[in-house]
Amino acid sequence: MANFVSGAWKSGIFDNKVVFCTGGTGTICSGQVRALVSLGANACIIGRNAEKAQSVATGIAKERCGSKVLGLGGVDVRDFDKVKAAVETCVRELGGIDFVIVGAAANFLAPISALSLNAFRTIIDIDLMGSWITMKATLPYLLRSAERHKGSVSNGTGGRIVFISSTNYRSARVAQVHACAAKAGVNAISDVLSLEHAPQGLTSNIIAPGPIGDTEGLRRLSDPTLREDAIRSVPVQRLGLVKDIADATVFLFGDTGNFINGACLDVDGGSWRVRGGGQFGNRKYPESINSAASMGREKTSRL
């Protein structure tokens, strides 16, 4: 268990709970779900690629004997009807939804001068509209779970949602106007949700990962030749682990998160305080602008 979640958590703390996760085939979100399943939960992950969704779900299910993990493919988070159908399948097969991880996202590097209207809209649609659609489709079931678990001690927790954001919300980033705008909106959704439905027992929080090693996002958005410089720029002197995000998720969904609502938990080793708006992809400012322009033309030519 120590490879993907801390051994400090008690086994079985999420027995009979159900987690629904968008972006569940990705490295970070699949790690979050893996941790929850290992601690007793059943799960439903969705993605656009059916074969990958099923394969990842099968792998996660092996973490605990008797677990049930659904992998639903062909689901685009920009399509409310498809997300709603996936939610209904999850409820029908697993009995309800207690936890939601809103993790589907997309990103690439492109400065404003090289960013097309369609490319900007694509990220807004996936990251922001996809988060809104996921929240809307799962909210009725989250509220049912919140009601069942409100004030409960013996029955565990329920009615909790976590949005996966980014420390980009802290400051502007070169070549990331699309992602910064989208994640700012995602944070706003969570903040308002935490006000409107907390009286019914629901909690809404944000996890903002920093540089997490061995993930597709870090590989695509950073320069591998500057890896050591990137590590030195993190105050704790290492890149993050998927395990770090999983532990934060367990913290928020477990009894440890009972009074945490409307919060944003930065899991980045303090790196945003060092980097601010001066870098992107581990490249120094202002040299990063020229690099971003050339890379942006390549990335956006097909969008």
Point out the residues that are catalytic.
Answer: 165, 183
Total Cβ atoms within 10 A of residue 57: 25
Tokens 């097309």 — which residue? 116
**In Å, what is the CA distance from 195 to each residue of 52, 129, 130, 199?**
36, 20, 21, 8
CA 40 to CA 244: how far, in whole Å? Answer: 19
Cβ 156 vs Cβ 149: under 8 Å = yes
CA atoms within 13 A on the CB side of 86: 34
Query: Rounded CA gap, 124 and 91, in Å?
Result: 28
The torsion angles phi and psi of 79, rounded to 5 degrees, stand at: -110, 105
Helix, coil or strand: residue 229: helix
Residue 286: asked if its preceding bond is cis (omega within 30°), the reply is yes
Q: What is the DSSP string of 119-148?
A: HHHHHIIIIIIHHHHHHHHHHHHHHHHHHH
